[in-house]
Amino acid sequence: MAFPTTLSNYVTGASSATLATAGHAADHNSLEAKVGVDGSAVATSLDYKISHLLVANITDITATTAEINKLAGLATTKVELGYVSGVTSAIQTQINTKSPSASPTFTGTVTMPVGLTGIAKLTTGVVSAVTAPSGTIVGTTDAQILSGKGITQRVITTTDLANSVIDCTITDTYQLSAVANATTFTVTGTPTDGQKLIIRYKDAGAPKGLTFTGFTALGVTIPTTTVTSKWGYVGAIFNSAANTWHILAASVEA
């Protein structure tokens, strides 16, 4: 039913009299003031109030018009809005304080996952822990006395090289076997003062000449040839003051 555009034909009660009937003007005025007609200009009528509805006039809403208009065009669902429940400060500010997943930079004390004890070990990007040794951790430059430790010698082995160049940076013992040519031993790398070097050699079944370049004998004779099918040994220590390897021992298998 359309909203009436006039109240003149409104029938009162069970009577056939209308509000246009003489004597009903007061009822007409009261009803129009309360309800109004379509496009009513009476500010107190329901029609006027509905057509002129303002947020400011709704007492149950405390937000301003400008605040409600901020929601215009908002595509966020009520579930998504629920995610911010319990937030006590600016979300973006909190996000900015978090480390990125790529190349993060940490300050202060970093707490490892619960349950990890010992020394942290990183393998293919995964952090695990290995059992920490007992006692004091050995430092690279600390003055410490070690006991009960074993050091695996760095042994370099090769066969028949006429020019045997020994890299003392990675070598403690140099082994040359199956010597079938006259051989010259030289040392490269960066030796440290007092560093030890052992050279052992064995021919292929016939004596071959030996030359030691950069070495100086102290109280021993530097071997100049191999002994057929016998192991020979030369022991030297680097003297940085003399800038040479001092041969202190030379022997051949009996």
138 versus 252: the higher-pLDDT residue is: 252
Q: How confident is the model over 33-76, as pLDDT tens digits?
A: 667 667 777 777 777 777 777 666 667 777 788 888 887 888 88
Position 232 scores a pLDDT of: 98
Q: What are phi and psi of 10, to 5 degrees?
A: -70, 120
198 versus 143: the higher-pLDDT residue is: 198
Residue holding tokens 């010259």?
A: 184
6 versus 101: the higher-pLDDT residue is: 101
Domains contained in the chain, CATH given = 1-99 (no CATH), 155-252 (2.60.120)
Q: Record the tokens describing residue 18, joined without a space.
A: 């209308």
The band of 96, judged by pLDDT with boundaries at 50, 70 and 90, is confident
Task: Return the top range by mean pLDDT from 98-102, 141-145, 197-201.
Answer: 197-201
Q: What are phi and psi of 246, to 5 degrees?
A: -90, 120
Position 244 scores a pLDDT of: 97
Task: Return the top range by mean pLDDT from 35-44, 77-86, 146-155, 175-184.
Answer: 175-184
Mean pLDDT across the stretch 145-153? 88
pLDDT at 1 over 50: no
Position 251 scores a pLDDT of: 97
- 3-class secondary structure, 38: coil
Q: How many residues does the chain have?
A: 254
The band of 24, judged by pLDDT with boundaries at 50, 70 and 90, is low
For residue 250, the 8-state DSSP code is E
Greatest Cα pair distance, the chain, in angstroms, is 151
Position 5 scores a pLDDT of: 57
11 to each of 14, 39, 210, how far by Cα in Å?
8, 21, 137
pLDDT at 86 over 80: yes
Strands 196-203 and 173-179: parallel
By the 8 A CB rule, do 129 and 119 touch? yes
139 versus 193: the higher-pLDDT residue is: 193
Least confident range of 9-23, 29-43, 174-188: 9-23
CA distance 233 to 116: 49
| Other beta carbons less than 10 A from residue 113's beta carbon | 8
6 to each of 20, 205, 219, how far by Cα in Å?
10, 133, 136
